[in-house]
């Protein structure tokens, strides 16, 4: 019998002047044309902090120190697969954010977290909203399980 595994992802809430940096997905096959956060999967033998530092450099060409990342929110999601998403906020970095993966992203945009674009991916919107409210954990996609248990 194989052991259960799930996808682990990290997402960056890059904050500046009461705004958060969003990235519009392009040509990825997942939620293309919608806004997300700079993000990626944690690789084998890699910590979440190391993955976030790596993804920030790969996706938006900025340098972040692990000590400048704050755990902002954790989300456990299920769709066609289960995933756990770690959202880190950051207010200190080196460099100017720019699209570094033009084949996956066609726009970077600073947005007011209270007025996110309508085409923001729903789980990203939920995480940003709950981060603003100070809620550290949420779930998405488990509604059917809750009904089964009652």
Summarize pLDDT for 64-83 with one digit per residue, the tens. Answer: 999 999 999 999 999 888 99
As a whole number of angstroms, the distance between CA 106 and CA 32 comes to 10
* Spatial CB neighbours of 105, under 8 Å, sequence gap ≥ 6: 23, 24, 25, 26, 59, 99
Instruction: Specify the pLDDT at position 113.
Output: 98
Strand partners, 63: 94
Instruction: Specify the pLDDT at position 80.
Output: 84
- C-alpha radius of gyration, the chain, whole number: 15
Instruction: Specify the pLDDT at position 146.
Output: 41
Q: Write down the residue that tokens 């998403």 correspond to.
A: 85
CATH number for the 7-149 domain, one of 3.40.50.1110, 3.90.79.10, 3.40.50.10710, 3.40.50.300? 3.90.79.10
Instruction: Specify the pLDDT at position 144.
Output: 61
Instruction: Specify the pLDDT at position 26.
Output: 94
As a whole number of angstroms, the distance between CA 42 and CA 102 comes to 21
- Given a cut of 50, the residues of the chain with pLDDT beneath it are 146-150
* 34-43 residue pLDDT tens: 999 999 999 9
């Amino acid at each position: 019998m194989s052991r259960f595994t799930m996808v682990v992802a990290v997402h960056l809430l890059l904050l500046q002047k009461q705004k958060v940096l969003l990235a519009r997905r392009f040509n990825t096959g997942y939620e293309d044309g919608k806004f997300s956060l700079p993000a990626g999967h944690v690789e084998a033998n890699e910590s979440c902090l190391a993955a976030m530092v790596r993804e920030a450099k790969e996706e938006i060409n900025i340098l972040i120190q692990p000590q400048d990342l704050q755990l902002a929110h954790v989300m456990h999601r299920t769709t066609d697969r289960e995933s756990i998403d770690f959202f880190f906020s950051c207010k200190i970095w080196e460099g100017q954010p720019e699209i570094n993966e033009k084949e996956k992203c066609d726009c970077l945009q600073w947005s007011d977290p209270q007025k996110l674009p309508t085409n923001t991916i729903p789980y990203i919107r939920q995480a940003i909203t709950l981060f603003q409210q100070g809620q550290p954990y949420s779930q998405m996609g488990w509604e059917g399980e809750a009904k089964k248990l009652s």
